[in-house]
Amino acid sequence: MQGMGWVYIDQLGRHVGEEVTLKGWLYHRRSSGKIHFLLLRDGTGICQCVASRAELGAETFEMADHLGQESALEITGTVREDRRAPGGYELSMRALRLISPAADYPITPKEHGVAFLLDHRHLWVRSSRQHAILRVRAEVEAAAREFLEQRGFVLFDSPILTPSACEGTTNLFEIDYFGERKAYLTQSGQLYAEAGALAFGKVYCFGPTFRAEKSKTRRHLTEFWMVEPEAAFFELAEDMDLAEDFVVHIVARVLERRRAQLQTLERDLTKLECVVRPFPRISYDEAIAKLQARGFPIKWGDDLGGDEETAVSEEFDRPVIIHRYPTQCKAFYMKQDPARPELALCMDMLAPEGYGEIIGGGQREDDYETLRAKIEHHQLPLDAFKWYLDLRRYGSVPHAGFGMGIERMVCWLCGVHHVREAIPFPRMMERLEP
Ligand code: 4AD
Ligand code: MG
């Protein structure tokens, strides 16, 4: 109870038979003439409020019949249990106060095109589907933090303005830094997380990351959120175990706490309920062989594209880990496999049902000379990586980590087609507004 009888809709079950006040926005309205039904949403749920002339008085009853969608309202009434009502409770209205009127709300129950909806993203987030997706997103983020904290990972925030590239130079956002030099929006906090791991043992960073992606696919944003654990003394095997436990934990918590939202999204829950250990693990070599056997024109050394990822993951009912890609496909910091130097000790986790790569990571090169040569080979400026190389000069140890893209994860969990719906305000090549 928030004082003066104000409660949230998701708490109505505790107040059956009592008089309470709800504060929210008009989601929908219909009337039989004698009775008005106002659907009020307050962010925690939707409640049907029933108004009669006798209870409200003629003037307010009349006003209630002309309220525009999304008008802000305060409604007082008695809570009744009603199995047929959305949420299971309804309110018999005694009083109604108009906080602010709304007229001609642009998003109506009729079908709108996606461009129109994205233009109105600031309002679209109120719609039940979008609301459910973003509620799942918040749960995914909370679950990720919870898991890592439980495992002793310390939050170690990484900078967003950086002097160098982490994930290749082809999709770097460049910024003019005081007219004196160039800076870049970070593509990943990993390099800084590595410094953190050598200071704290186990750390994670969690923040927005940026890629100037010119590809207009359903999996790519130019700004997306990534959670990146990094641990000293972890090798590839421990890294894969961690990634697996991490995903299992997140899926389980979302299933436990966000079932209603997944139901709103009509998600097939059986597809998530089977996400338990162990996940299948195959090598890149095996993946190529599988793809070739299915007729894909792919040869050893090629990176896997979206279609290939979908084809590999289709074979499994849970995420699959592909490990040990050719070094040529991967970033400069990857550790070479001592048994086969043409391979990197890395892994990608692909979600089932064609949702693609949700996690990328692996073991880091910890040898000073090898790493220096790699930086040169990738034609990266040695100066900017001097501090990073220092980590290999002063107490270098094996270490590993990974990054999980929040939007990809949310898309898969919600069964949503495009990552643009998995973030409040998507940024893509062709979209910077609102
Ligand atoms: O595979 P990526 O590029 O790996 C890294 O950035 C590593 N430095 C992470 C690490 O080891 N600490 O990106 C990691 C994940 C991908 O698996 C994907 O889920 C997501 O980030 N991702 C994107 N999500 C949306 N839009 C994009 N353009 C994305 N690029 C990567
Ligand atoms: Mg990747």
Q: Under the phi-then-psi rule, with left for phi > 0, alpha for psi from -120 to 50, and beta for the rest, what region is 292?
A: alpha
107 falls within a domain: no
* Structural domain count of the chain: 2
Q: What is the reported pLDDT for 165?
A: 86
The full DSSP string for 146-167 is HHHHHTTPEE-PPPSEESS-SS
Most ligand 1 atoms within 8 A of CB, residue of 188, 209, 304, 407 to mutate: 188
Residue 76: give its domain's CATH number.
Answer: 2.40.50.140
pLDDT tens string 86-119 = 889 999 999 999 999 999 999 987 889 999 999 9
- Give the HSE-up count for residue 80: Cα atoms under 13 Å, Cβ half-sphere: 13
Grouping H, G, I as helix, E, B as strand and the rest as coil, residue 101 is coil
* CATH number of the CATH domain containing 163: 3.30.930.10
Separation between Cα atoms, residue 312 and residue 350, nearest integer Å: 9
Where residue 2 falls among pLDDT bands split at 50, 70, 90? Answer: low
Please indicate, yes or no, whether residues 209 and 353 belong to a single structural domain of this protein.
yes
- Whether 363 lines ligand 1, by a CB cut-off of 6 Å, is no
Domain with 78, as residue range(s), is 9-100
> Ligand 2 centre from 349 Cα, in Å?
9
Q: 324 and 248, same structural domain?
A: yes
| 408 shares its domain with 368 | yes
Q: Is the CB of 226 under 6 A from ligand 1?
A: yes
In a domain, 17, yes or no: yes
- Quick one: 22 and 164 in the same domain? no
**Confidence check: pLDDT of 265 > 60:** yes
Q: For a pocket test of ligand 1, which of 408, 427, 429 has the largest count of ligand atoms closer than 8 A to its C-beta?
A: 408
Cβ 45 under 6 angstroms from ligand 1: no
Are 189 and 243 contained in the same domain? Answer: yes
Residues 44 and 135 in one domain: no
Domain match, 230 and 297 both: yes
Percentage helix, strand, coil for the chain under 3-state DSSP, each rounded to 5: 35, 30, 35
Which comes out higher in pLDDT, residue 169 or 263? 263
Q: What is the pLDDT of residue 87?
A: 86
User: Is position 248 within any domain?
Assistant: yes
Ligand 1 atom at minimal distance to the Cα of residue 348: 17
DSSP 359: E
Question: Does residue 149 contact residue 177 with C-beta atoms inside 8 Å?
Answer: no
The arithmetic mean of pLDDT across residues 303-316, rounded, is 94
Nearest CA to ligand 1 atom 30: 220
Extract the tokens encoding 377. 């080979």
CB of residue 165 inside a 6 A radius of ligand 1? no
Which of 65, 100, 135 delimits the end of a domain? 100
What's the pLDDT at 3?
53
The atom of ligand 1 lying closest to the CA of 229 is 12
Rounded to the nearest angstrom, the distance between the alpha carbon of 360 and the centre of ligand 1 is 6
Q: With bands split at pLDDT 50, 70 and 90, how would you rate the model's confidence at 201?
A: very high
Residues 6+ apart with CB under 8 A from 168: 187, 331, 378
Residue 266 burial (CB count, 10 A): 10
182 plus 60 within the same structural domain: no
The residue type at 281: R
pLDDT digits (tens, 9 = 90+) for 43-86: 999 999 999 999 999 999 999 999 999 999 999 999 999 998 88
Mark whether 254 and 161 lie in a shared domain.
Answer: yes
Taking residue 173's Cβ as centre, other Cβ atoms within 10 Å add up to 14
Residues 22 and 67 in one domain: yes
In a shared domain, residues 400 and 340: yes
Residue 269 shares a structural domain with residue 401: yes
136-166 pLDDT, tens per residue? 999 999 999 999 999 999 999 999 999 988 8
Final residue in a domain of this structure, among 32, 67, 100: 100
State yes or no: pLDDT of 190 exceeds 90.
yes
Residue 82, amino acid: D
Q: Residue 42: which pLDDT band, with cuts at 50, 70 and 90? A: very high
Instruction: Establish if 110 belongs to a structural domain.
Output: no
Per-residue pLDDT of 383-427, as tens digits, reads 999 999 999 999 999 999 999 999 999 999 999 999 999 999 999
Please indicate whether residue 333, judged by its CB atom, sits closer than 6 Å to ligand 1: no
Quick one: which H or E segment has residue 242?
helix 236-257
Test site for ligand 1: of 158, 190, 224, most ligand atoms within 8 A of the Cβ: 224
Whether ligand 1 lies within 6 angstroms of the CB of 189 is answered as no
Does some domain include residue 145?
A: yes
Cβ–ligand 1 distance for 357 under 6 Å, the answer: yes
- Does residue 109 sit within a domain? no
Residue 432 placed within a domain? no
DSSP state of 431: B
- Both tokens of 384, joined, read 């900017």
Does residue 429 form part of some domain? no
